[in-house]
Amino acid sequence: MQGLALMPDGNQSGRTTVFPVCDYDLDETLGSGQAFRWQAHGDAWEGVIGEQWVRLQRTTAGIHAEAAAPQQDWHWLEEFLQIKVNIADVLQTFPDDEPMRRAVASCRGLRLLRQEPWECLASFILSSTKQIVQIREIVHLLTERYGQHVITPNKSGPAHAFPSAERIAACSETELRACKMGFRAPYLLKTAQMIVSDVVNLEDLKSLALSEARARLLLFPGVGRKIADCVLLFGYGFPQAFPVDVWIMRALRELYFPRKRKVTPQQILEFSERHFGPNGGYAQQYLFHYMRTKHTSNNRDKASRSTQ
DNA sequence: AACCAGGACACAA
DNA sequence: TTGTGTCATGGT
Proportion of chain A in helix, strand, coil states, percent, rounded to 5: 50, 10, 40
A95 lies in the same domain as A144: no
A219 lies in the same domain as A121: yes
A75 lies in the same domain as A93: no
**Confidence band (pLDDT; 50, 70, 90) for A41?**
very high
A5 lies in the same domain as A151: no
Residue A216, in any domain of the structure: yes
Out of A64, A84, A104, pick the residue that ends a domain: A84
Q: What is the pTM of this model?
A: 0.94
Domains of chain A: total? 3
Q: CA A293, C1' B1: Å apart?
A: 26
Q: Which residue is the nearest neighbor of C11, CA to C1'?
A: A131
**Do A300 and A254 meet the contact criterion of CB atoms below 8 Å apart?**
no
Q: Which nucleotide is nearest to A243 (CA to C1')?
A: B6
A208 lies in the same domain as A288: no
Per-residue pLDDT of A195-242, as tens digits, reads: 999 999 999 999 999 999 999 999 999 999 999 999 999 999 999 999
Provide residues 250-289 of A with CB closer than 7 Å to any strand C atom: 264-266
Strand order in the sheet with A39-41: A16-19, A62-67, A52-59, A44-49, A39-41
A211 lies in the same domain as A150: yes
Residue A231, in any domain of the structure: no
Q: Please, which positions of strand B sit below 7 A from a protein CB?
A: 4-9
Can you tell me the distance from the alpha carbon of A269 to that of A103, in angstroms, rounded to the nearest whole number? 19
| Percent of chain A clearing pLDDT 90 (strictly above) | 87
Q: Which nucleotide is nearest to A182 (CA to C1')?
A: C8
Residue A51: CATH number of its domain: 3.30.310.40
Residue A47, in any domain of the structure: yes
Per-residue pLDDT of A251-267, as tens digits, reads: 999 999 988 878 999 99
A106 lies in the same domain as A125: no
Residue A216: CATH number of its domain: 1.10.340.30
Q: CA A143, C1' B11: Å apart?
A: 36
A264 lies in the same domain as A201: no
A66 lies in the same domain as A95: no
Domain that holds residue A22: 1-84
Q: CB burial class (10 A; 0-12, 13-18, 19+) of residue A287?
A: buried
pLDDT at A300 over 60: no
Does the C-beta of A127 come within 7 A of strand B? yes
Residue A201, in any domain of the structure: yes
Q: How far is CA A174 from the centre of its chain?
A: 27
Can you tell me the distance from the alpha carbon of A119 to that of A30, in angstroms, rounded to the nearest whole number? 15
A99 lies in the same domain as A122: no
Can you tell me the distance from the alpha carbon of A52 to that of A73, in angstroms, rounded to the nearest whole number? 12
pLDDT at A64 over 50: yes
Q: CA A135, C1' B11: Å apart?
A: 29
A262 lies in the same domain as A301: yes
Q: CA A70, C1' C6: Å apart?
A: 51
Residue A228, in any domain of the structure: no
Does the C-beta of A88 come within 7 A of strand C? no
Residues 6+ apart with CB under 8 A from A205: A117, A213, A216, A217, A236
Can you tell me the distance from the alpha carbon of A295 to that of A303, in angstroms, rounded to the nearest whole number? 13
Residue A195, in any domain of the structure: yes
- Provide the 3-class DSSP secondary structure of residue A167: helix
Residue A97: CATH number of its domain: 1.10.1670.10
Out of A192, A223, A254, pick the residue that ends a domain: A223
Out of A33, A67, A84, pick the residue that ends a domain: A84
A139 lies in the same domain as A60: no
Does the C-beta of A133 come within 7 A of strand C? yes
Residue A44 is predicted with a pLDDT of 97
* Nearest by Cα to A251 from A302, A225, A286, A303: A286
Residue A230, in any domain of the structure: no
Q: Which residue is the nearest neighbor of C12, CA to C1'?
A: A306
Does the C-beta of A272 come within 7 A of strand B? no
Can you tell me the distance from the alpha carbon of A74 to that of A198, in angstroms, rounded to the nearest whole number? 30
**Confidence band (pLDDT; 50, 70, 90) for A13?**
low
Does the C-beta of A182 come within 7 A of strand C? yes
DSSP assignment of A206-257: GGS-HHHHHHHHTTSTT--HHHHHHHHHHTS--TT-----HHHHHHHHHHHS
Residue A232, in any domain of the structure: no
Residue A308 is predicted with a pLDDT of 29
Residues 6+ apart with CB under 8 A from A248: A242, A272, A284, A287, A288, A291
Q: CA A294, C1' C8: Å apart?
A: 30
Q: CA A183, C1' B10: Å apart?
A: 15
